[in-house]
Structure 1
Amino acid sequence: MAMQQWPYPRWIAHRGAGKLAPENTMAAFRLGAAHGYRMFECDVKLSADGVPFLMHDATLERTTNGVGFGGDQPWDQLARLDAGSWHSRGYVGEPLPTFENLARWCIANGYLLDIEIKPTPGQEAATGDVVARWAARIWAGVQVPPLLTSFRPESLQAAMQAQPELPRGLLLDTLWDGWFDIAQRLQCVAIVCNHALWDGKLVAQVKDAGMRCLSYTVNDEWAAQRLIDLGTDGIVTDRVELFAPD
């Protein structure tokens, strides 16, 4: 699967506004937008009753006042959690958003989304399937679809089977054996690497295969300039206050 034209901007705000607001909350995405960002990265997993919601970690303790695995709790319990007070007093009481909350806000404002499928362990295929189906329904009729990404090939496989027309990207923290063949089998449009992995040879390999080169999480000017000089296509950053998006 190759996209004839790449519709996404170079700069992508990580989890909404990086570290300036509590990650994966609507407050963070609004702050990222206030800094001029038009595309955002988010993490999506499933509640125990199958509702896609925003959270990075498998467990609740770091970013909410909850305890245990987020995926073990139903949405009505998760919706009551405080997802802001861990960050700073100004965000006390900020709730966890559903995936649909963020999606509708992005569409209404003309923003784009990089959706990392972040399954609770053991829910890889189910999460990929549900996220893809919800994304296809919510973005029906919208010109630019979201980009579905994941470290888990099982999640991308399920997403491809559910909604093959949605673009996919393979996330890589290391260049593990077989990654390139799997990316091609999954018909990925992008490889999203730890930024330190990119060099000229790797960029050429990916681009020669018709895929785009994206990087995470880039928070230093020298690193961003190196990636631009290499000809990469997208940069995910926490530093929404430092990098002016194009």
Structure 2
Amino acid sequence: MKTLFAHRGMSSLAPENTLAAFSLVKEHGLNWIECDVDVLADGTIVVCHDDSLDRCTDRTGSLYDLTREDLDDIDAGSWFGDAFIGEPIPTFDQLIALVNEHKLNINVEIKSCTAGQAMTEKLINGVIKGLENLHQDCDLLVSSFNPLALSEFKRKSPESAVACLFEKETLQSDWLSILQACGAEAIHLEDGSVTKERVIEMKDKGYMVNVYTVNSLSRANQLFNWGVDGVFTDIGQSFPSRYRPLL
């Protein structure tokens, strides 16, 4: 069975990385979500792709200047549509509760924290603590573009499966050494970097190969035919039922 990851939730139907977007996943037949996590000044782990509020909320400024209490006054939904006015930035604990309720699997992307090493440690430790509440029947994959952060997470949580993320420009011939150093089980590739030969090579080395972000059904079909294990997509609702196990 090939895997569809709902990229930041059902992000073409609801504002990305919100509980509204994640709550739509199961009803559209998917059982995996992808989310991004970062950390606030007080150590609260939040689900947010950017380290600033500017793109997806009604505010500007850095995440790293906020505390949990500040989230109550931030609207992360009205930019997307009137139906989502007042939708908050979720905490990681809130997302884990939703994942457990909906019996979903989760790929947690640890952001490459731009606030320094101390905050990165807070982020890693907070993610590990939050994952203690994940139901044992929910599958987990933790990924990051930052191999130092990912290897530190793996050192502290050796039982968790991890995946190294690469952009097209950062995928070099040393990819295997990086995966081995991180103790990775999977590699996540930017779509534009993927060739059939590269997929075969990585699969032959024993790694799961997942590709982001694939919003073309024909391209997804091609990737799956090449042996790719999963794709991250914003349009999971548009894929045929053969890829949506809950339908």
TM-score by length of 1: 0.90
Q: Counterpart in 1 of 2:194?
A: 198
Q: Counterpart in 1 of 2:140?
A: 146
- Specify which of 162, 185, 193 is matched with residue 168 of structure 1: 162
Alpha-carbon deviations, 1:3-41, whole Å to 9, x = none? xxxxx9611111010222110111001122221111100
Cα distance in structure 1, aligned partners of 2:164 and 2:125: 16
Alpha-carbon deviations, 1:99-158, whole Å to 9, x = none? 1111121122211001111143024444233313321x112x603441000111122022
Cα distance in structure 2, aligned partners of 1:69 and 1:195: 29
CA contact (8 A) 1:153 1:170 kept: yes
1:15 aligns with 2:8: yes
Q: Which amino acid aligns with 1:201?
A: E
Q: Which amino acid aligns with 2:16?
A: E
Q: How many residues align?
A: 237
- Specify which of 52, 56, 60 is matched with residue 59 of structure 1: 52
Q: Counterpart in 2 of 1:25?
A: 18
- Measured on the aligned residues, the alpha-carbon RMSD in Å equals 1.7
Cα distance in structure 1, aligned partners of 2:2 and 2:72: 32
For 1:162-241, list aligned pairs within 5 A.
162-174=156-168, 175-176=171-172, 178-241=174-237
CA contact (8 A) 2:57 2:75 kept: yes
TM-score by length of 2: 0.90
For 1:52-131, list aligned pairs within 5 A.
52-121=45-114, 122=116, 123-131=119-127
CA contact (8 A) 2:26 2:102 kept: no
Cα distance in structure 2, aligned partners of 1:178 and 1:62: 34
- Tell me, which stretches of 5 or more residues in structure 1 are unaligned? 1-7
Cα distance in structure 2, aligned partners of 1:152 and 1:195: 19
Alpha-carbon deviations, 1:146-187, whole Å to 9, x = none? 100011112202211211110000111121353320111111
Cα distance in structure 2, aligned partners of 1:191 and 1:120: 20
What secondary structure sits across from 2:200 in the alignment?
A: helix
Q: Which amino acid aligns with 1:25?
A: T
Q: Percent identity among equivalent residues?
A: 33
Q: Counterpart in 2 of 1:4?
A: none
- Tell me, which stretches of 5 or more residues in structure 2 are unaligned? none
